[in-house]
Structure 1
Amino acid sequence: MLGWAMTFLVIALVAGVFGFFGIVSTAVGIAKILFFVFLIMFVVSLIFGRRRSI
């Protein structure tokens, strides 16, 4: 999921260089959502992963 977030961030950067600002805002929005979903899933996996190992 982090890979997808980075892909959309690169798309946004390339589109920004070429002046496609509508695509930039969409790609940045998608990248932000994917990044926060990744962070939430990462924290949840850390919490539940520690409980199983004890």
Structure 2
Amino acid sequence: MLSYTITFLIVALIAAALGFTGIAGTAAGIAKICFFLFLILFLVSLFTGRRAA
């Protein structure tokens, strides 16, 4: 999941450097959504793992 976030972030940075603002905005938005989803899943697994022990 984190690799998708990094991939979309790199695509957004390259697209922004080349001037493709629409593609850069879309890729950055997808990267942001993937990052927050990864963060939520990490926190859930952290708390559920702590309870089971």
Describe the superposition over 1:1-54 as per-residue Cα deviations: whole angstroms up to 9, x where unpaired. Answer: 11100100000000011110000000000000000000000000000001111x
For 1:42, the equivalent position in structure 2 comes to 42
For 2:10, the equivalent position in structure 1 comes to 10
State the identity %. 58
- Residues matched between the structures, number: 53
Query: How far, CA to CA, are the matches of 2:50 and 2:12 in structure 1?
Result: 37
The one-letter code matched in structure 1 to 2:3 is G
Consecutive unaligned residues of structure 2, counting only runs of 5 or more, are none
Give the root-mean-square deviation of aligned CA atoms: 0.5
Scaled by the length of structure 2, the TM-score of the pair is: 0.97
- SS of the counterpart of 1:7? helix
Consecutive unaligned residues of structure 1, counting only runs of 5 or more, are none
Runs of 4+ aligned structure 1 residues displaced above 2 Å come to: none
